Structure 1
Amino acid sequence: MKRSRSVGASSPLNGIGKQDGDSRRKRKVAEISQALNVTPVDVAALRRMAISEGGLLTDEIRCKVWPRLLNVPTDTLPEKPGMPDKQREDLQEELIDIILRVLGRNTQLHYYQGYHDIVVTFLLVLDERLATALVEKLSTHHLRDFMDPTMDNTKHILNYLMPIIERINPEVHDFMQQAEVGTIFALSWLITWFGHVLSDFRHVVRLYDFFLACHPLMPIYFAAVIVLYREDEVLDCECDMASVHHLLSQIPQDLPYETLISRAGDLFVQFPPSELAREAAQQYSQQTAASTFKDFDLVSEQQRPDSVLRRRLREKQALEGAAAGAMVATAQPTVARRFVRLAVMGLTVALGAAALTLVNTALEWVPKLDLHLFP
Structure 2
Amino acid sequence: MAQGPEEYEHVDARGDDEKSTSDTTEASTAADADADRDAEATSLARRQARILDACRRKDIEDLQAIAVSNGGFLSDTIRSQAWPVLLGCRIDGRGEREEEKTSDSWTSLPRHRDEDQVKLDVDRSFVYYPSEPTQAQLDEKRAELSALITEVLRRQPYLCYFQGYHDICQVLLLVLPPASRAAAMARLSALRIRDFMLPTLAPAVSQLRLIPDLLGAVDPELSAHLSRIEPYFALSDTLTMFAHNVQQYGDIARLFDALLAREQVFTVYIFAQIVLRRREELVALDEPDMLHFTVSKLPTNLDLEAVIAEAAALFEAHPPESLRAWRRISKASALKTARDVRACASQSLDDGRVFFERQLREMHWSDRRDRVLKAVWVNRRIILAIAVAAGAVYFRKAPIWANLVSWSTPNRNRQ
Structure in which a larger fraction of residues adopt helix = 2
Q: Which residue of 1 aligns with 2:270?
A: 222
* Aligned residues of 2:73 and 2:257 also touching (Cα < 8 A): yes
CA contact (8 A) 1:210 1:261 kept: yes
Q: Is the 8 A contact 1:156 1:281 kept in 2?
A: no
Equivalent residue number for residue 250 of structure 2:
202
Distance in 2 between residues matched to 1:150 and 1:138, nearest whole Å: 19
Runs of 5+ unmatched residues, structure 1: 1-16, 284-358
Q: Is the 8 A contact 1:159 1:281 kept in 2?
A: no
C-alpha distance in 1, partners of 2:56/2:159?
Answer: 35
Paired residue secondary structure (1:188): helix
Q: For residue 250 of structure 1, what is the aligned residue in structure 2?
A: 297
RMSD: 2.7
How many pairs does the alignment contain? Answer: 276
Instruction: Tell me what 1:136 maps to.
Output: 186
- CA 1:162 to 1:23, structure 2 compared with 1: closer, same or farther past 3 Å? farther
Alpha-carbon distance change, 105 to 364 in structure 1, aligned in 2, over 3 angstroms: closer
Per-residue CA deviation, residues 8-48 of structure 1 (Å, 9 max, x unaligned), is xxxxxxxxx7665444322210211222344xx32221222
Rate the CA distance shift 1:234–1:82 in 2: closer, same or farther, 3 A: closer
Q: 1:186 to 1:232 in 2, by over 3 A?
A: same
Measured in 1, the distance between the counterparts of 2:39 and 2:223 equals 41
**Gapped regions of structure 2 (runs ≥ 5):** 1-35, 92-96, 109-135, 330-337, 360-415
Counterpart of 2:50 (choices 21, 31, 37) is 31
SS at match of 1:90: helix
Summarize deviations over 1:139-158 as a string: whole Å, max 9, x none: 00111000000011000011
Provide the C-alpha distance between the structure 2 equivalents of 1:131 and 1:265, rounded to a whole number of angstroms: 28
The answer as to 2:183 corresponding to 1:166 is no
Q: Which amino acid aligns with 2:325?
A: E
Q: Does the 8 Å CA contact 2:54/2:62 hold for their aligned counterparts?
A: yes
User: Which structure is richer in relative contact order (CA contacts within 8 A, separation 6 or more)?
Assistant: 1
Aligned partner letter, 2:205: K
Q: Which residue of structure 2 aligns with residue 120 of structure 1?
A: 170
Corresponding residue of 1:291: none
Per mean C-alpha deviation after superposition, the further-off stretch among 242-251 and 112-121 is: 242-251
- Whether 1:260 and 2:304 are equivalent positions in the alignment is no
- 2:54–2:60 contact (8 Å) kept in structure 1: yes
- The TM-score normalised by the length of structure 1 is 0.68
Tell me the amino acid that sits aligned with residue 258 of structure 2: F
Q: Does 1:279 align with 2:325?
A: yes
Q: Which amino acid aligns with 1:144?
A: R
Deviation at 1:67, TM superposition (A): 0.7
The answer to whether residue 98 in structure 2 is matched with residue 76 in structure 1 is yes
Change (3 A) 1:281 1:36: closer
- 1:135 alignment partner, SS class: helix
- Distance change (3 Å), C-alpha of 1:244 and 1:82: closer
Verify: 1:367 aligned to 2:314, yes or no. Answer: no
Q: Which position in structure 1 is the counterpart of 2:71?
A: 54
Q: Does the 8 Å contact 2:206/2:328 carry over to 1?
A: no
1:65-102 Cα offsets, whole Å, 9 max, x none, are 11111110124254892669xx9961211111111111
Tell me, yes or no, if the aligned pair for 1:163 and 1:280 is still in contact at 8 Å.
no
Shift of 1:160: 0.7
Partners of 1:224 and 1:360 lie apart in 2 by 18
| Secondary structure of the corresponding residue to residue 192 of structure 2 | coil
Question: What whole-Å deviation, never above 9, does each CA across 1:350-370 have from its counterpart, x for those lacking one?
Answer: xxxxxxxxx994334433376
What does residue 147 of structure 2 align with? 97
The answer on whether the counterparts of 2:89 and 2:345 sit within 8 Å (CA) in structure 1 is: no
Measured in 2, the distance between the counterparts of 1:270 and 1:82 equals 45
Deviations 1:281-314 (A, max 9, x none): 679xxxxxxxxxxxxxxxxxxxxxxxxxxxxxxx
